[in-house]
Amino acid sequence: MNAAFKNRIIVGLGKTGLSVARYLHSVGVAFSVVDSRMNPPGLAEFTREFPLAPLTLGEFPAALLRDADELIVSPGISLDTPAIRSAIEAGVAVTGDIDIFSKAVNSPILAVTGSNGKSTVVSLLGAMARAAGINVAIGGNLDGAEAAPALDLLRGEPRELYVLELSSFQLETTSMLGARAAVILNISDDHMDRYASVQDYAAAKQRIFRGCQHIVLNRDDVLTEPSGADSRSVSSFGLDAPASDVWGVLTQQGRTFLARGNTVALAADEMKIAGKHNVANALAALALGEAVGLPVTAMLEALRQFPGLPHRCQWVRVHAGVNYYNDSKGTNVGASIVAIESLGELATGKLVLIAGGIGKEADFSPMLPVVARFVRLAILIGRDAGRIAAVFKHSVQVVLASSMEAAVQLATENAQPGDVVLLSPACASLDMFTDFAHRGRVFTQAVEALS
């Protein structure tokens, strides 16, 4: 930490802000906290752990922020928030939890970002490292019982390897990550309520390569490549036939195989996770694991055993010949396109799609080709249901539902044997639910209640 900075302010008191407070306290650095909410989610824990720390709630006081030496901004808060922008223009330094983390650790970091698949790839890498006997920690933007904010990973024993899922928001305040290896898995239209264009969104993602020793590219997405000439070590993955030293896909006797060059590594149908998107996720994990020396045999065994993550094309049950899948983590257009296509190609019938929520100013028209091809009926919920309906109405039958339970009931009434009912919202969840996991649980409960 910069010893010249005496007045540090943590901006935002959610999980990340609380993790920053804990870390600064552990290294003897004073801080204060501001949050625009009167009752932020980390308030009870913060006041219990740091009863004497200065805390300002209900606003971001512009004068207070301008007088700071450094702002540690939580990822959910835009740097264009007027009070923060005013502080930046006044010369106040800005950082985030990932920047602090990268300076504090000595072990290698594997860093993963992208619009879709981040959590699956990070969780796969954790499983691969454990299969190889590596003491690994995974976290960052990752959800789930095993995950933690990056700085909370430093509270226990040092690890041999850290695997981080990073959002574009976290990367905005990351000046020099210094990862051993890093990847942008893919770029699709997301967070257009925060970015002026897809190019601006991609530029935030590109910050993951700052100080990176080895770059992993997705050959199927040019936006994942670093801008400008780059002399660093590079490897790649893709859903095409691979060159001799990279990962890709080979088809032999009607079966799909993950392969490195001409060497077949694993049949796709040996994995528990299905769909082309999960083949790509597996290939990305293999390329990243290879970059830090994980043995291929251990990585392949982890791939065979990995069950997939909750709320990500997760099979719920079969009822009356119809399979129900929970893809509540499909919070953007690109994720839902992949889910619809993957399950549509596997289903013997059609899909009944449940979608909708907070659209984040996204363009839903890229969904039309897969919706027209695979979807029998689109059932739309949430704040932006009407806006999505206006896009879908000429390609598929559309109905609106007032609740998730009503949507599941409508889906059950309209699905035919061999069909798939898929919750893949292409939207955020906070209009109706506490988060995507809550949305997925409500869907699952409604499906399990069918009789």
pLDDT category at 3 given cuts 50, 70, 90 is: low
The residues annotated with a catalytic role in the active site are 118, 141, 191
Sheet holding 93-95, edge to edge: 55-57, 32-35, 8-11, 70-73, 93-95
The position carrying tokens 């309209």 is 414
Q: HSE on the CB side for 34, CA within 13 Å?
A: 22
* DSSP bridge partners of 57: 35
More confident residue, 223 or 299: 299
pLDDT category at 190 given cuts 50, 70, 90 is: low
The per-residue pLDDT for 61 is: 96
CATH number of the 314-448 domain: 3.90.190.20
User: SS3 sequence, 294-324?
Assistant: CCHHHHHHHHHHCCCCCCCCEEEEEECCEEE
The position carrying tokens 């932020």 is 40
Which of 100-114, 299-313, 423-437 has the lowest average pLDDT?
299-313
What is the spatial distance between Cα 409 and Cα 411, in angstroms, rounded to a whole number? 5
pLDDT at 147 over 80: no
pLDDT at 4 over 90: no
Q: Residue 14 in contact with residue 167, Cβ under 8 Å? A: no
The domain limits of the chain are 8-95, 99-305, 314-448
Q: What is the pLDDT of residues 354-380, one digit of tens each?
A: 999 999 999 999 999 999 999 999 999
Q: What is the pLDDT of residues 43-67, one digit of tens each?
A: 999 999 999 999 999 999 999 999 9
| CATH class of the 8-95 domain in this structure | alpha beta
More confident residue, 426 or 308: 426
Helices (H) and strands (E) in the chain, counts: 15, 20
Pairing of strands 93-95, 214-218: unpaired
Q: Residue 405 in contact with residue 439, Cβ under 8 Å? A: no
Q: What is the pLDDT of residues 71-102, one digit of tens each?
A: 999 998 999 999 999 999 999 999 999 999 99
**Per-residue pLDDT averaged across 333-338, rounded?**
92
What is the spatial distance between Cα 208 and Cα 195, in angstroms, rounded to a whole number? 17
Nearest to 280 by CA among 364, 194, 188: 188
- The pTM score is 0.82
- From the number of C-beta atoms within 10 Å of its C-beta (0-12, 13-18, 19+), residue 246 rates as buried
- Mean pLDDT value across the chain: 93
pLDDT at 191 over 80: no
The per-residue pLDDT for 229 is: 58
What architecture (CATH level 2) is domain 99-305?
A: 3-Layer(aba) Sandwich (3.40)
What is the spatial distance between Cα 308 and Cα 327, in angstroms, rounded to a whole number? 12
The total of other beta-carbon atoms located within 10 Å of residue 315's CB is: 13
pLDDT at 170 over 80: yes
